[in-house]
Amino acid sequence: MVPPAALEDSTRWLARPETWDSNRGDPRASDKKLARIQFAAALQEALEAGTLRERAPLVRAAELVAELQHPDGSWPIDPSGSLGSPATYGQALATSLARRTLAAAGAGRFERRMAAADRWLRRAAARSVLDASALVLGLDRAQDREALEQTGRCLELLVRGQASDGGWGPYASSPPEPFDTAVALLALASLPATTERAGMILRGRKFLASTQLEDGSWQETTRPPRSESYAQRLSTTAWAAQALLQTRP
């Protein structure tokens, strides 16, 4: 158990979104758009966990995130449209998390922005397993025709993409990776339970359990694979741990 005092400084900093863009870091590795989405998601988690009780910072954070929305309704992180990673997300996952922040801050405040995001999430092509998982998360169990059809297409890719050892890679034919497996598990867990999905989740959990390293971390998922990155290892481990926690039987 992490003592509450260990989180106090970080929580205080998160609760001041107006300072986020001034966060120090290597300019070559800084992406303020991505940082806003990530910090806002962390702020939302702090509220849900009860470590932060004032909601005003989340509204301000959502305003900062909303400013970055593309006219098509998405939050493109990389102009090249490259495959997302544990630390860089990619367009579909960034859009899913950004929409979640707006919804948590108060759907009425961001109705137009959320409607644009919803249109994009329903119409975007799932070009990878990660895209499919992220789109399912962003659709958030919506029941309209377009959402159900998109969810169905994404689920087909997830079913096809699960490897014999239970994991998922970035594409249906790719070797499994911890990060892609974690996001796929989170997507499946967000949907109504079925026997088939329960089996997929169980196999995915076994893959993550079997690939955890002795120090408790997971080998970083990188693009291209088998590179070294401490930031990606931290992020991969966080995604894997979150997936295991949210899919506990």
Segment 156-194, tens digit of pLDDT: 999 999 999 999 999 999 999 999 999 999 999 999 999
Structure tokens at 183: 């996001």
Residue 30: which pLDDT band, with cuts at 50, 70 and 90?
low
Residue 28: which pLDDT band, with cuts at 50, 70 and 90?
very low
Handedness of CA 70, 64, 80, 151 (dihedral sign): negative
pLDDT score recorded for residue 205: 99
Segment 181-229, tens digit of pLDDT: 999 999 999 999 999 999 999 999 999 999 999 999 999 999 999 999 9
pLDDT score recorded for residue 15: 95
Residue 32: which pLDDT band, with cuts at 50, 70 and 90?
confident
Segment 42-89, tens digit of pLDDT: 999 999 989 899 999 999 999 999 999 999 999 998 767 789 999 999
pLDDT score recorded for residue 24: 65
Taking each continuous run of H as one helix and of E as one strand, the counts in the chain are 10, 0
* CA-derived radius of gyration, the chain: 18
Is the pLDDT at 100 greater than 80? The verdict is yes
Q: Is the pTM of this model over 0.85?
A: yes
Is the pLDDT at 17 greater than 70? The verdict is yes
Residue 4: which pLDDT band, with cuts at 50, 70 and 90?
confident
pLDDT score recorded for residue 6: 75
Handedness of CA 136, 137, 139, 140 (dihedral sign): positive
Segment 120-155, tens digit of pLDDT: 999 999 999 999 999 999 999 999 999 999 999 999
State residue 87 phi and psi, 5-degree precision: -95, -15
pLDDT score recorded for residue 25: 60
Of residues 231 and 81, which shows the higher confidence score? 231
pLDDT score recorded for residue 78: 79
Measured CA distances, 107 to 45, 102, 143, 241 (Å)? 17, 6, 18, 29
3-12, 13-22, 173-182, 207-216, range with the lowest pLDDT? 3-12
